[in-house]
């Protein structure tokens, strides 16, 4: 059995979370994110995840992670019978996709119903009313509660002394401070190596990871793929990005949609990441891994103010509902624990059900550190390398141990896993910045969009979107990328490179050979 809600152990966990909230925030009124229990029918999916984590830990080579051949048929389906079987398989999957769409709508309705049911409880209503009844000098500007269906959670203001009252309801899975996360620290290199500047055709990362060769060998440039970019926003008028921002949304600190907002960048971080994903050659060099892909940009970090958990969860709601093919999040905060807020775990689980990989930066605080949500076991996290295939000194990574979990059965615990999964170019990365310019920047934030762009290339010229069931799609994508990585450092997975530096050309070759 997974951790039993309402048990003494669970009550102690909730009390520990409340004590942590009070240690961090001594305000009279505190804004919290409450995770509501949701019925889980993902036993098979979670078992697959647990087994995958163990398999990664025991693998001596990244090649051990490559997925099985599509439909378990002979390589390339060379015989007529194999070709016929593949066609029948794909027809069956088309029918499954329609069923999955209906199941997804039902899952969303069920999640929202659970949240609404909890919000309707008298104790919850009383906690919300207690804030409004305070004298005006003792309370901040009142904000209405906001719910998030993908993470089965709600953000609300609560009087400090009423925190325990919320946990008296049996539906509570966890309670977290609506903490503010800052824009990840990135820096301009003091000196750009000559070998980097000599890349006159493209940014060095594109050549190193095989993007240019993939365009030529497979005609893959990301066409038909939509990437959800949750960041500081984007300068949609930049010459490298014009016409490539297909959708836009901005969210406030409480996770509410900001009406009337137009695409803009509250910093330069988001525009730089967008350029690495879909940028063109307006500077005279190609800067984007997948220049024919499109972006759905969500502003969830407000420049120097950063963003809250609620903003990021709202952005994930929006991106998943929008039907993106991959989510790219170069954001996070340092935690010295594997206990990522379970709201992120639930939202990522929702994404994986829909076939959407969630690509995250592992953090810029150096070896043996990881940032959340990149250290979540469901995140596809990315470390950074330089042009000499060395791990960047700032790039994070370490071993995580899950001892208690609401997701895995007790017999599967403790569960040990390592971060990151993969690495990508992240030092002296040349890309777009607001106002029509370009800059070199360092950071795992710069490595993450290389991986998101690689996924766009993979999806644009393979059968993965149409031939792999949604609940297996993200895992096939991740296995193709990790299984084909350029192995660096220790044998197998390690804290500095994951399974190695991404090589999209090799990934495409394996996808072809394995009938994807």
Catalytic site residue from 10, 238, 264, 269: 269
Q: Taking CA 477 as the corner, what is the angle to CA 472 and CA 481, rounded to the nearest 5 degrees? A: 145
Q: What whole-number distance in Å separates Cα of residue 298 and Cα of residue 228?
A: 7
For the record, the structure tokens of 273 come out as 């990441």
Determine how β-strand 429-433 pairs with β-strand 437-441. antiparallel
Catalytic site residue from 111, 127, 231, 460: 231
Which has the closest alpha carbon to 273: 161, 437, 430?
430
Q: What whole-number distance in Å separates Cα of residue 190 and Cα of residue 488?
A: 26
Q: What whole-number distance in Å separates Cα of residue 316 and Cα of residue 470?
A: 18
Which has the closest alpha carbon to 347: 384, 383, 372, 382?
372
Structural contact between residues 504 and 210, judged by C-beta atoms closer than 8 angstroms: yes
With a CB cutoff of 8 Å and minimum separation 6, the contacts of 436 are 237, 238, 239
Active site residue 231: yes
For the record, the structure tokens of 35 come out as 């995770």
Catalytic site residue from 38, 283, 381, 445: 445
Active site residue 252: no
Q: What whole-number distance in Å separates Cα of residue 472 and Cα of residue 462?
A: 15
Total Cβ atoms within 10 A of residue 216? 9
DSSP 328-379: EE---EEESSS---HHHHHHHHHHHHTT--EEEE--SS-BT-EEETTTSTTS
Q: What whole-number distance in Å separates Cα of residue 152 and Cα of residue 407?
A: 14
Which has the closest alpha carbon to 445: 240, 242, 267, 221?
267
Which has the closest alpha carbon to 362: 393, 326, 334, 400?
334
370-387 as b/e: b if 16+ CB within 10 A: bbbbbbbbbbbbbbbbbb
Structural contact between residues 336 and 365, judged by C-beta atoms closer than 8 angstroms: no
For the record, the structure tokens of 350 come out as 């929702």
DSSP 95-106: HHHHHHHHHHHH
Active site residue 495: no
Total Cβ atoms within 10 A of residue 254? 18
Catalytic residue set: 231, 269, 445
């Amino acid at each position: 059995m997974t951790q039993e809600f309402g048990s003494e152990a669970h009550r102690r966990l909730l009390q520990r979370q409340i004590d942590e909230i009070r240690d961090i925030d001594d305000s009279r009124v505190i804004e919290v994110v409450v995770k509501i229990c949701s019925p889980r029918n993902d036993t098979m999916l979670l078992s697959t995840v647990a087994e995958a984590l163990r398999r990664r830990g025991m693998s001596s080579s990244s090649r051990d992670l490559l997925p099985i051949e599509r439909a378990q048929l002979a390589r390339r389906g060379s015989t007529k019978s194999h070709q016929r079987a593949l066609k029948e398989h794909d027809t069956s999957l088309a029918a499954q996709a329609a069923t999955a769409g209906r199941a997804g709508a039902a899952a969303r309705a069920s999640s929202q119903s659970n949240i609404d049911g909890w919000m309707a409880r008298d104790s919850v209503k009383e906690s919300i009313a207690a804030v409004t009844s305070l004298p005006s000098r003792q309370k901040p500007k009142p904000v209405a509660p906001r719910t998030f269906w993908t993470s089965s959670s709600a953000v609300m203001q609560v009087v400090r002394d009423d925190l325990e009252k919320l946990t008296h309801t049996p539906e509570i899975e966890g309670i977290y401070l609506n903490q503010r996360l800052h824009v990840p620290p990135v820096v301009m290199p003091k000196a750009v190596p000559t070998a980097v500047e000599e890349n006159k055709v493209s940014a060095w990362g594109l050549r190193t990871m095989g993007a240019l060769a993939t365009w030529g060998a497979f005609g893959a440039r990301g066409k038909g793929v939509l990437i959800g970019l949750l960041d500081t926003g984007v300068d949609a008028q930049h010459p490298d990005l014009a016409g490539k921002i297909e959708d836009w949304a901005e969210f406030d600190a409480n996770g509410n949609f900001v009406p009337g907002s137009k695409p803009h960048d509250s910093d330069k971080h988001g525009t730089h990441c967008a350029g690495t994903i879909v940028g063109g050659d307006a500077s005279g060099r190609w800067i984007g891994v997948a220049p024919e892909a499109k972006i759905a940009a969500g502003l969830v970090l407000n420049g120097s103010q950063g963003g809250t958990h609620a903003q990021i969860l709202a952005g994930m709601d929006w991106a998943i509902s929008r039907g993106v093919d991959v989510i790219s999040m170069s954001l996070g905060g340092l935690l010295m624990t594997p206990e990522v807020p379970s709201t992120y775990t639930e939202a990522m689980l929702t994404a994986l059900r829909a076939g959407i990989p969630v690509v995250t930066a592992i953090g810029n605080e150096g070896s043996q550190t990881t940032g959340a949500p990149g250290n979540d076991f469901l995140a596809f996290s990315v470390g950074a390398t330089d042009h000499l295939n060395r791990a960047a000194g700032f790039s994070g990574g370490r071993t995580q141990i899950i001892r208690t979990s609401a997701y895995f059965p007790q017999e599967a615990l403790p569960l040990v896993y390592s971060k990151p999964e993969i690495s990508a170019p992240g030092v002296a990365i040349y890309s777009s910045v607001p106002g029509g310019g370009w800059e070199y920047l360092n950071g795992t934030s710069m490595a993450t969009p290389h991986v998101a762009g690689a996924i766009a290339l993979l999806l644009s010229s393979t059968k993965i979107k149409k031939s792999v069931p949604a609940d297996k799609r993200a895992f096939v994508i991740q296995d193709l990328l990790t299984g084909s990585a350029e192995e660096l450092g220790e044998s197998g997975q390690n804290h500095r490179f994951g399974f190695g530096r991404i090589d999209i050309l090799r990934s495409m070759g394996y996808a072809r050979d394995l009938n994807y």
